[in-house]
Each structure stands twice: as C-alpha cells, then as structure tokens.
Amino acid sequence: MIFEHEIPEGSKLYFGDSAKRKREIEQVASEVLYKEGFEEIVTPLFSYHQDDSIADVKELVRINDTKNNKMSLRADSTIDVVRIITKRLGRNTTHSKWFYIQPIYRYPSTEQYQVGAEVIGESDLSVALNQAMEIFGRLEVKPLLQISNIAIPMKLSKLLNIGLDDFRHINIQKFLELDIEWVTKLVYLQHPEDIDAVIEIVPDEIKEELFKMKEICQKIAYKNKVIAPLYYAEMLYYDELFFRVIEGNKIHTRGGRYVNEDVTSVGFAIYTDTLIEANK
C-alpha cells in the first residue's frame, strides 16, 4: 500500500531553505561558467545512447519509442552532451566550452541533480578543475580535492601482476608486502610537495604519469588538496588524470579527462544534492 505522503525511494524533494540553496548553487555555478566563456546546453531527458556511458546498464530506466526502439532516461550527461555537440550541432557551432544544469535518473527511482561542464577538444584537466574549484570558492565551501591518475593503477597492475580489484579495494597490505621501495613510497604519497622524491625512483612508465600529476598540482592554486596515485575507481570514460572533491563522507564532484571518438575532452560534474545536504 502506498500512502498519500510517500515519494519513491531515491527521489528528491526540496523546499524552503534546501530549494533556495539548490537555486543558489546553480546560480553561482552558471555565473562562474558564463564568465569563463561557457555556454549552457540542456539535453533531452530521453536518450538512445545511454548504454555507451553507463558501466552497469541495469541502472538505466528503460522505455521504448513509437517504433519500439530502446530508449532510456538520461543516466549520465557527459557522453550525451559531447555527442549532441559534435554530431548534431557540429555544423552550427564551433564552441567548445559547455555547461549543463540538469538531473540524471537511475533505476528504479534515483534522481541526482548535477551541474556539469565539458571542454571539448581540451586535454589539460586544469582548465576544468580550476572552474570547479572556483565554484566551490564562491559557495564558501572548502572541501578536500583529491587528484589521481587512473593510468597509474592500470600500468602498475600489469607491471606488478596485481589485480585491479586490489587497487579498487585499496589493498595496501598487498602493496607493502611486495617490499619494493618505490611501491611503498607510492602508497604513502599524499602531498604534492613530496612527489619529486617519488618521481626520482619509480620506473619510467610510472614517472611519466606522476609528472602529469605534478604538473596539474602546479596549475591548481587551491590549497586543500592531496594526491592519491594508487586510487582506482571503475569508470567508463576517464582515461588519465581525474579528481574527486570530498567533504567528510560526501563526494561533491568528480571530473577527469576522457576520449570520445578520438576527441580528447575534460569535464566535471558537481553533485548538487550532496552540497545541499552538507549545508543542512
């Protein structure tokens, strides 16, 4: 039996102060992004292409069109935004900096409001990351910025013959028991100022990836940051440098570099709901 006051589990309801905060977050984000030359895009709620951007297709809320083709509700904005700009608007615009303010939906009834930005054709992640941190600055939130590079666990997995699951579960006991000095240093590496000492002793293929982490740290003025070179998360599209913005147990933002049909781009998504929650 469903009571009159019930709303589906995972759906969102904002009113009064929380609705005001939501509007404020979206307003501040759009002001920052417009000022930096971004344009807004609102993509359709219904999509034919979500299978390409979701790791677990069971999370899609599926429906069919009039010809019984499979569609789903938007479960991820990034790939749809990039696809629409490059494939549908390609002839009408050469603009590359876009932002969106729209929710995503996951099966069975999870809603998540997001503010996202994509810089199409850009390979320098700091372009996106600095925008995200400026938005947090304007919102007077000082979360922890974690910078990682997914190429490092991928390469180490092959080099050391350690499964990616051990990286996903941060199985440090396994890494430390290898008793290899540079692996131990990678486990302990936390602050950008310590990266040089580790770069000196790692194998060349890891050195190259740590340099990228060092470079991006130098381009980010935001102080409250850590580096986590062994952090691995299952992601469908980030292929190199990526970041998380965390506060307590909440993840406010994820972003990174990705390649879609040979075009390298960078972007991020701010999870509006967790920011509203943090404000309570």
DSSP label at residue 62: E
Binding status of residue 246 toward another protein by CB under 8 A: yes
Give 61 or 144: the residue with its C-beta nearer to another protein: 144
Beta-carbon contacts of residue 171 (< 8 Å; ≥ 6 apart): 165
Site stretch for another protein (CB under 8 A), options 10-18, 42-50, 235-243, 247-255? 247-255
The amino acid at 203: P
Verify binding: residue 73, another protein, rule CB under 8 A: no
Beta bridge partners of 260: 263
Among 228, 241, 266, 275, binds another protein (CB under 8 A): 228
Which CB, 73 or 156, lies closer to another protein?
A: 156
Rg (CA), the chain: 20
**Is 274 among the residues that bind another protein (CB under 8 A)?**
no
Residues 6+ apart with CB under 8 A from 144: 224, 225, 226, 245, 246, 247
Among 9, 13, 248, 261, binds another protein (CB under 8 A): 248
Handedness of CA 245, 248, 250, 252 (dihedral sign): negative
Stretch 164-203 residues interacting with another protein (CB under 8 A): 169-173, 187-188, 190
What are the phi and psi torsion angles at 114 (to 5°)? -135, 150
User: Which residue's CB is nearer to another protein, number 84 or number 226?
Assistant: 226
Residue closer to another protein (CB basis): 232 or 258: 232
How many residues bind another protein, per CB under 8 A? 17
Nearest approach in angstroms of CB 228 to another protein is 5
Sole binder of another protein in the list 54, 144, 162, 236 (CB under 8 A): 144
User: What b/e sequence results for 56-87 when a residue is b if at least 16 CB atoms lie within 10 Å of its CB, and e otherwise?
Assistant: eeebbbeeeeeeeeebbbbbbbbbbbbbbbbe
Whole-angstrom Cα distance, residue 13 to residue 274? Answer: 13
Binding site for another protein (CB under 8 A): 144, 146, 169-173, 187-188, 190, 226, 228, 231, 246, 248-249, 251
